[in-house]
Amino acid sequence: MGEWLLEKFLLLNGIVALVLVALIFLFLFREAGQALARIPFSSWWGAAETDFDGNAVYVHMWQPNGSRPKYSLIPLLLGSFLVAIPAVLIAGTVGVATGIALAEVASRRTREFLKPIVELLAGIPTVVIGFFCLATLATVLQNFFHTTYRLNAIVGAFGVSFVVIPVIASLVDDALRAVPHSLREAAYGMGATRWETIVRVVLPAAVSGLTAALILGVGRALGETMIVLMATGNAAQVTLNPFVSVRTITATIAAELGSVPKDGDWYQSLFLVGAVLFTITFLLNLLAERVVDRMRRKLAL
């Protein structure tokens, strides 16, 4: 009887974890649904507006606080991807190289030095990285690229890449270590050098692990908040130029939620923005999981 009660009590704790996920989903999408119901659907794309000369123009603006509030998600989505894509390009290069170094190239002593450093990088609070970008890195990069805006998408991308590098590096490390030694030995036996073995045998065998690492990196980059809030300048504009100030999905929520009235369109529209972010990262995580499952099945054969 006591054992039975105990097991049910432990189960209850597990269920609480599940309920919390359900509650997050519920509360996010409840408010987002309200926003969808109250704000016309075309507003999320853009709005008709008259410019200063009286001409009718169609604008994509995020400006929920004006007398005629505008809720276009376009500048926010563009801003998020303008930061996330360069960030993952940087972090992908450094992270994959670090993963290869950890799993294949480095001596045992180098590995025992490098691995904790990568973990320490992962442990730096994002607000500190954001501050480092804002105070130090932005000036360095402005002098290097000669940009008009001191805070721009590229500064944010560098900052975000510092967070994504450890994620990608440890996933790549794990994926490469899962490749059976017999494959490497076969390549060496045929006279391949270590580099040839890595490029032609190990990396192709671990390709799904690498893909999953990059996908999770994109998800992490899109969800990063404090760094982009502090380092990208926060101007919501429609642009494809990474050297101007942008405003991401996450920074919009972080900057605006504190000051809005706790009911009404603006408040709910921020939950919709959050729901969009949640959906994107959820799908990316799901995709990465599928890819990893495929790798497990392939290597088990």
Partner 1 sequence: MTTAWRNRKDRLASIVVRAIAFSTVGIVLAILASLLLEGRHVLSWEFLTQPPSDGMTEGGIFPAMFGTVCVTMLMILMALPLGVLAAIYLVEYAGRGRLARLIRAGVNNLAGIPSIVFGLFGLGFFVLFVGRGLDRLAGNELVFGQPAMLWAAATLAVLVLPVIIVATAEALTAVPRSHREAAFALGATRWQVVQRVVLPQAWSGILTGAILGVSRGAGETAPILFTGCAFYLPRLPVAHLTVPLIGVSIPMVNPLDQFMELSYHVFVMATQSADTTKTRPIQYGTAFVLVALTFALNLTAILLRTRLSRRVVRS
Q: Which is nearer to partner 1, 98 or 208 (CB)?
A: 98
- Among residues 92, 224, 245, 292, which is the contact residue for partner 1, using CB under 8 A? 224
9 to 28: interface string for partner 1, x by CB under 8 A: xxx-xxxxxx-xxxxx--xx
Residues 119-138 that bind partner 1 (CB under 8 A): 119-121, 123-132, 134-136
Q: Which is nearer to partner 1, 17 or 300 (CB)?
A: 17
Residues 235-274 that bind partner 1 (CB under 8 A): 250, 253-254, 257-258, 262, 270-271, 274
63 to 92: interface string for partner 1, x by CB under 8 A: ------------------------------
Task: For residue 289, state whether it binds partner 1 (rule: CB under 8 A).
Answer: yes
Q: Which is nearer to partner 1, 120 or 186 (CB)?
A: 120
Q: What is the dihedral of CA 90, 94, 99, 102, to 10 degrees?
A: -170
Beta carbons of 203 and 282 less than 8 angstroms apart = no
CA 192, 194, 196, 197 torsion-angle sign:
positive
Kindly report each contact of residues 178-182 with a partner whose C-beta sits within 8 Å and lies 24 or more positions away, as own/partner.
178/206, 178/209, 178/295, 178/299, 179/205, 179/206, 179/299, 180/299
Q: Which is nearer to partner 1, 47 or 272 (CB)?
A: 272
Spatial separation of the C-alpha atoms in residues 154 and 237, rounded to whole Å: 15
Q: What is the dihedral of CA 252, 255, 260, 266, to 10 degrees?
A: -10
Q: Which stretch binds partner 1 (CB under 8 A): 49-57, 141-149, 179-187, 275-283?
A: 275-283
Apex CA 279: angle with CA 274 and CA 285, to 5°?
Answer: 125
- Among residues 62, 149, 162, 243, which is the contact residue for partner 1, using CB under 8 A? 162
Q: Which residues pair with 62 in a beta bridge?
A: 71
Q: Which is nearer to partner 1, 40 or 258 (CB)?
A: 258
